[in-house]
Structure 1
Amino acid sequence: METFNTSIRWDLSNLLCGLDMEKYKNYLGSIKEKLIKVEEYSKTNTLNDGELIIISQAINKIESAESFYYCLTIENIDPSLLTSLNGTISALKSQVRFIISNLQENLSNMSENQFTVWSNKINQNSWIAELLKNVEITSREETIISNFARETLSGLEDLYGQVRNNLKVNLDHEGNEISFAEANNLSFSHPEQSKRHRVFRELNKTLETEANIFASIYNQMVGLRLNENKIRKVDYLEESLQLNGISKPSLNAMWDAVDSNIHDLSGYLRIKAEEVGKKNISWHELMTSSQEVSPQITFSQAIDGITKSLVNIDSSMCEFVKGVITKGWVDAEQRKTKSSGGFCAPFTPEGESRISLNYDNSIDSARRLAHELGHAWHFQQMKYVPSLWFSEDTFEMTMAETSSIFFETAFIDYVIQNTNDVTIKKAILGSKIERSLNYLMSIRGAFLFEKRFYEFRKNGQLDAKKMEELSLQFQEKAYGSSLSEYEPFVWIKYGQFYQANTPFYNYPYSFGFLLSIGLLKLAKTDESFNQKFKGFLSETGMLPLEQLIKKHFHLDLSQPEFWQQSVQRLIQDIEQYNQIS
Structure 2
Amino acid sequence: MKTSTAPSKWNLTNLLPCGPDTEQFHNHVTSLKETLASLEGNEQSAPFNENELHTLAKLIQQVESAESFYYCLTTEKTDTALLASIHTNISALKSHIRLLVSKQQEKVSHMSDEQFEEWFSYTKEKRFLKDLKTDSKSSTEETVSNFAAETLTSLENIYAQARQNLTVQVELAGEKTELSFAESSHAALSHRDSSTRNHVFRELNRTLEKQAGLFASIYNAMVDLRLKEQQVRSTDDLEESLKVNGISKPVLDAMWTAVDRSLPGLTVYLNIKARESGKEKISWHDLMTSSQETSDEIPFPEAVSGISDALAPIDRNQSTFINETIQSGWVDADPRDTKPPGGFCAPFMPEDESRISLNYDNSIDSARRLAHELGHAWHFKQMKNAPTLTFSDDTFEMTTAETASIFFETAYIDHLIENTSDALVKKAILGAKIERSLNYLMAIRGAFLFENRFYEARKKGPKDAEQLEHLSLQSQKEAFGSSLSEYEPFIWIKYVQFYQANVPFYNYPYSLGFLLSIGLLDRAKKDPHFTRKYQGFLSETGLLPLEELVEKHFDINLAHTDFWEQAIHQITQDIEQYRQL
Q: TM-score range by the shorter chain?
A: over 0.9
Task: Tell me how far apart the structure 2 counterparts of residues 570 and 399 of structure 1 sit (CA, whole Å).
Answer: 21
The reply on whether 1:312 has 2:313 as its aligned counterpart is yes
Task: Tell me how far apart the structure 2 counterparts of residues 337 and 43 of structure 1 sit (CA, whole Å).
Answer: 47
2:75 match: 74
2:458 match: 457
The 1:13–1:241 alpha-carbon spacing in structure 2 relative to 1, beyond 3 Å, is same
The reply on whether 1:291 has 2:285 as its aligned counterpart is no
- The alpha carbon displacement at 1:108 in A equals 2.0
Letter in 1 for 2:323: K
User: TM-score of the superposition, structure 1-length normalised?
Assistant: 0.98
Question: Is 2:272–2:579's contact at 8 Å kept on the other side of the alignment?
Answer: yes
Secondary structure, in 3 states, of the residue corresponding to 1:42? coil
Cα deviation digits, residues 293-319 of structure 1 (max 9, x gap): 231011111111111111110001010
1:162 match: 161
1:89 match: 90
Identity of aligned residues (%): 58
Where do residues 3-402 of structure 1 align in structure 2 (5 Å cutoff)? 3-16=3-16, 17-42=18-43, 44-135=45-136, 138-172=137-171, 176-402=177-403
Task: Tell me how far apart the structure 2 counterparts of residues 107 and 340 of structure 1 sit (CA, whole Å).
Answer: 45
Structure 1 moving runs of 4+ over 3 Å: 172-175
Question: Is 1:65–1:89's contact at 8 Å kept on the other side of the alignment?
Answer: yes
Task: Tell me how far apart the structure 1 counterparts of residues 292 and 25 of structure 2 sit (CA, whole Å).
Answer: 42
Task: Tell me how far apart the structure 2 counterparts of residues 509 and 81 of structure 1 sit (CA, whole Å).
Answer: 33
Per mean C-alpha deviation after superposition, the further-off stretch among 112-121 and 220-229 is: 112-121
Question: Is 2:310–2:412's contact at 8 Å kept on the other side of the alignment?
Answer: yes
Task: Tell me how far apart the structure 2 counterparts of residues 174 and 519 of structure 1 sit (CA, whole Å).
Answer: 50
Task: Tell me how far apart the structure 1 counterparts of residues 546 and 33 of structure 2 sit (CA, whole Å).
Answer: 34
- The alpha carbon displacement at 1:175 in A equals 5.9
Cα deviation digits, residues 484-540 of structure 1 (max 9, x gap): 000110000010100111000100000000000100000000000001000000000
Question: Is 1:294–1:363's contact at 8 Å kept on the other side of the alignment?
Answer: no
- The alpha carbon displacement at 1:140 in A equals 1.0
- The alpha carbon displacement at 1:47 in A equals 1.6
Cα deviation digits, residues 156-210 of structure 1 (max 9, x gap): 1111010011011111498632111111111111111111111111111111110
- The alpha carbon displacement at 1:334 in A equals 1.0
The 1:9–1:174 alpha-carbon spacing in structure 2 relative to 1, beyond 3 Å, is closer
Question: Is 2:45–2:107's contact at 8 Å kept on the other side of the alignment?
Answer: no
Letter in 2 for 1:7: P
Task: Tell me how far apart the structure 2 counterparts of residues 110 and 46 of structure 1 sit (CA, whole Å).
Answer: 9
The reply on whether 1:500 has 2:501 as its aligned counterpart is yes
Task: Tell me how far apart the structure 1 counterparts of residues 337 and 576 of structure 2 sit (CA, whole Å).
Answer: 39
Secondary structure, in 3 states, of the residue corresponding to 1:171? strand
Where do residues 470-481 of structure 1 align in structure 2 (5 Å cutoff)? 470-481=471-482
Cα deviation digits, residues 323-362 of structure 1 (max 9, x gap): 0011111111111111221111111111111111111111
Task: Tell me how far apart the structure 2 counterparts of residues 49 and 199 of structure 1 sit (CA, whole Å).
Answer: 58
Letter in 2 for 1:41: N
Where do residues 566-581 of structure 1 align in structure 2 (5 Å cutoff)? 566-580=567-581
Secondary structure, in 3 states, of the residue corresponding to 1:320? helix
- The alpha carbon displacement at 1:110 in A equals 2.0
Secondary structure, in 3 states, of the residue corresponding to 1:294? coil
Letter in 2 for 1:303: V
Task: Tell me how far apart the structure 2 counterparts of residues 77 and 45 of structure 1 sit (CA, whole Å).
Answer: 44
1:545 match: 546
Task: Tell me how far apart the structure 1 counterparts of residues 578 and 271 of structure 2 sit (CA, whole Å).
Answer: 12
Task: Tell me how far apart the structure 2 counterparts of residues 294 and 85 of structure 1 sit (CA, whole Å).
Answer: 43
Secondary structure, in 3 states, of the residue corresponding to 1:15? coil
Cα deviation digits, residues 394-453 of structure 1 (max 9, x gap): 110101101100000000000001111111110000000001100000000000000000
Letter in 2 for 1:196: R
User: TM-score of the superposition, structure 2-length normalised?
Assistant: 0.98
Task: Tell me how far apart the structure 2 counterparts of residues 225 and 456 of structure 1 sit (CA, whole Å).
Answer: 13
Secondary structure, in 3 states, of the residue corresponding to 1:169? strand
Per mean C-alpha deviation after superposition, the further-off stretch among 35-44 and 74-83 is: 35-44
1:404 match: 405
Secondary structure, in 3 states, of the residue corresponding to 2:448? helix
Question: Is 2:46–2:107's contact at 8 Å kept on the other side of the alignment?
Answer: no
